[in-house]
């Protein structure tokens, strides 16, 4: 069995399994609801109340991606500065790691304070 056929077989089995699980979930959910309605339950039981949207996860992702981009830029600046001062002879990834992790840490701290501000606002 060559690699392409094995990959095709794996992907098709994953897609079929996923579709089967969704079908099974929808089928059992429908059966459960019809049984409850047959027993006299109110149909409004199945309508979900509108929830207030929470944008915290989106805010975290946005701040972290911006900080990641700033960290990569800071890594370029550090690499150029270290190369000009003679501290860096070859292409070491150290300045990039420093810039990325520094800015991601700043991003997490910013997210913490933004979350605290949003919680206090509510």
Query: What is the per-residue pLDDT for 50?
Result: 75
Is 99:68 a contact under the CB 8 Å cutoff? no
What is the residue-level pLDDT of the chain in tens, covering all 122 positions? 678 888 899 999 999 999 999 988 888 887 887 887 788 777 676 677 777 777 788 888 898 899 999 999 988 888 888 888 877 777 778 888 888 999 999 999 998 898 888 888 76
How many other CB atoms sit within 10 Å of the CB of residue 118?
A: 13
How many other CB atoms sit within 10 Å of the CB of residue 67?
A: 22
Query: What is the per-residue pLDDT for 86?
Result: 79
| Nearest-angstrom CA–CA distance, 64 and 68 | 6
| Nearest-angstrom CA–CA distance, 80 and 87 | 10
Query: What is the per-residue pLDDT for 66?
Result: 93
């Amino acid at each position: 069995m060559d690699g392409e056929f094995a990959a095709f077989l794996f992907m098709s089995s994953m897609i079929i399994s996923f579709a089967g699980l969704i079908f099974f979930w929808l089928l059992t959910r429908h059966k459960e609801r019809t049984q409850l309605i047959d027993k006299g339950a109110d149909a409004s039981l199945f309508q979900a109340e509108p929830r207030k949207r929470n944008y915290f996860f989106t805010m975290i992702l946005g701040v972290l991606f911006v900080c990641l981009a700033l960290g990569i830029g800071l890594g370029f600046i550090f690499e150029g500065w270290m190369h000009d001062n003679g501290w860096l002879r070859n292409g070491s990834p150290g300045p990039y790691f420093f810039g990325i992790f520094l800015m991601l840490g700043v991003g997490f701290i910013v997210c913490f304070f933004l979350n605290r501000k949003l919680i206090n606002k509510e």
